[in-house]
Chains A and B, each alone.
Chain A
């Protein structure tokens, strides 16, 4: 079942959480809403679920408009950030809730609960109360509970936020597998770009209530649509300069420019898109080695450039060993790939 939101605007008093946001989520996909806090990602999720009501815009589930439907009529499974388990009910009763409010026969409920408990691997804990469970276990109960009434779509609000790193990593993989099993359209909210890149089929990047980019993880990572996207996903070195006509100059570096407009611009280069070398070549930056740090299998080298200041270069330790560079050495850095963005783009920019 696909989800579509059209021109959603949601304000909380003076604060605009979402500004004219439109998005379509294809059926069966696992989509991440990614962005920093305040970006509107949770608000968008809640508007789709009916937990918030937008001032403007429409929401569709499949072909049906649900903009004015009540929460309980939407048939949407929702996993809350703090799980919102019913503290006075056991694990089994929590999971059964969505079915028992629909007056399903007891035998059917029991079967379904048992099935879901097995799927989330919590069968031995069915009679426990939520207060007796660990964070990761509560998470899984919340998920099972949301899935029990066979929802049309599944929405998850920062599902792994409150858990420690190891549990988070396990659950990420587990969620991905669950989705592959069930093929239910799922949308989850996260501020963790690694999580989004690892788990999602498609990523929607939001900032300040607007969509910055929509694409597959590789698209969003390799071909960022804006300065915000590249800085939020993975970070990058920033080279300041200017673009005119069909080229941009950034210090002694010249890069082709195919965009519209002229003026001050910045070139974003990821740490692993800068190559270190010893011999000067055309279109390279002269740098001085400032700091060398080896971390596991990669190495991170901080260099300084006259105009561009400090740059961070990532390379494999093997390559570093080959170069045999130490602090104080002079070296060159070449740019493999860069994303160039105007500082002040002309207003009518359609998003690619």
Chain B
């Protein structure tokens, strides 16, 4: 095995592996260990209890809906930011990052106060019989808030690099603006939109801080899975909590791996490109040289 020319491999890899081992692998393994103290039957009972199933269904459903809505809004926001000029564009572009930076608890109470039945905006919904807080709608609102930045930030760079001549070509061939968008732009953006959707979905699944305030946590109705885990912990039902947690962890891992491999496939980047072996000429080397004055 050839020695490496650049120094520091052993040290940096050692630090990386040790740190991750101690801080990520060992804590994660406790979930598996604890769950394995249950029998399959016990595990199954916990995971399929009506309240648990309801919370999974709610988390899953709300996250899917929220990710879908976030994808639509995110696409529009990205489009508007890249393609149009208007006053306040820079401000909006900066605000896109706000949900990343804002503590989830603050987001939770702020959204509840705004969209609740007595809130500045929620009162209008209340008047037509819709509850913006302590409801499933509230959960979706919070998750959309968190998901939109993911979609915007994955779609924006792709949109920036998109050659406008492609759309112009489509239009010279007779396509309407809408057709050009649907048949030329959208397919090019599809990988980014899917990635953004998946990221928003993944974030929404595990979200706790903002949802716990706006949902009201009514079992069977607005109790999300993380909250059920929290409740079980407070009741010292550690095995039950871990069983549920294991299901959550496995599904988020699956999504994470799917996102990463999808992203890798559509990127096609190679760090150390090997030089391609060239065509061998049909003649291998030499014989002798002739000097001939003819």
Assess A/B contact in the complex (Cβ within 8 A): yes
Q: Which parts of A232-256 form the interface with B (CB within 8 Å)?
A: 248, 253, 255-256
The A-B contact count (CB < 8 A) is 103
Question: Min CB distance, B6 to chain A, in Å?
Answer: 9
Contact status B283-A335, CB under 8 Å: no
B contacts with A, residue count (CB < 8 A): 25
- The CA of A228 and the CA of B7, in the complex, are separated in Å by 39
A303 close to chain B: CB less than 8 A: no
Nearest 3 A/B pairs, CB to CB: A259-B288, A226-B286, A259-B287
Q: Which parts of B268-294 form the interface with A (CB within 8 Å)?
A: 274-278, 280-294
Contact status B286-A345, CB under 8 Å: yes
- The CA of A168 and the CA of B118, in the complex, are separated in Å by 75
B128 close to chain A: CB less than 8 A: no
Question: Min CB distance, A321 to chain B, in Å?
Answer: 25
**Which of the candidate stretches A86-94, A120-128, A336-344 sits at the interface with the other chain?**
A336-344
Contacts of A13 in B (CB 8 A): 274
Contacts of B277 in A (CB 8 A): 15, 38
**Which of the candidate stretches A50-58, A97-105, A148-156 sits at the interface with the other chain?**
A50-58
Contacts of A258 in B (CB 8 A): 288, 290
Contacts of B287 in A (CB 8 A): 259-261, 265, 340-342, 345, 349
Interface residues of B (CB under 8 A from A): 2-5, 7, 274-278, 280-294
Give A39's nearest chain B residue, CB to CB. B278
A142 close to chain B: CB less than 8 A: no
Known: A55-B2, A208-B280, A226-B285. A340 touches B275 (CB 8 A): no
Known: A17-B275, A53-B3, A71-B5. A349 touches B290 (CB 8 A): no
7 example contacts (A-B, Cβ-Cβ < 8 A) are as follows A53-B2, A70-B7, A258-B288, A259-B289, A337-B293, A338-B292, A345-B285
Question: Min CB distance, A196 to chain B, in Å?
Answer: 19
- The CA of A224 and the CA of B292, in the complex, are separated in Å by 15
Contacts of B2 in A (CB 8 A): 52-55
Question: Min CB distance, A340 to chain B, in Å?
Answer: 5
Question: Min CB distance, B287 to chain A, in Å?
Answer: 4
Contact status A227-B281, CB under 8 Å: yes
Contact status A38-B286, CB under 8 Å: no
Known: A255-B292, A334-B294, A336-B293. A341 touches B274 (CB 8 A): no
A225 close to chain B: CB less than 8 A: yes
- The CA of A340 and the CA of B288, in the complex, are separated in Å by 6
- The CA of A37 and the CA of B274, in the complex, are separated in Å by 12
Contacts of B5 in A (CB 8 A): 50-53, 71
Among A52, A227, A257, residue most surrounded by chain B Cβ atoms (within 10 Å) = A227
Contacts of A338 in B (CB 8 A): 290, 292
Among B274, B276, B283, residue most surrounded by chain A Cβ atoms (within 10 Å) = B283
Question: Min CB distance, A223 to chain B, in Å?
Answer: 6
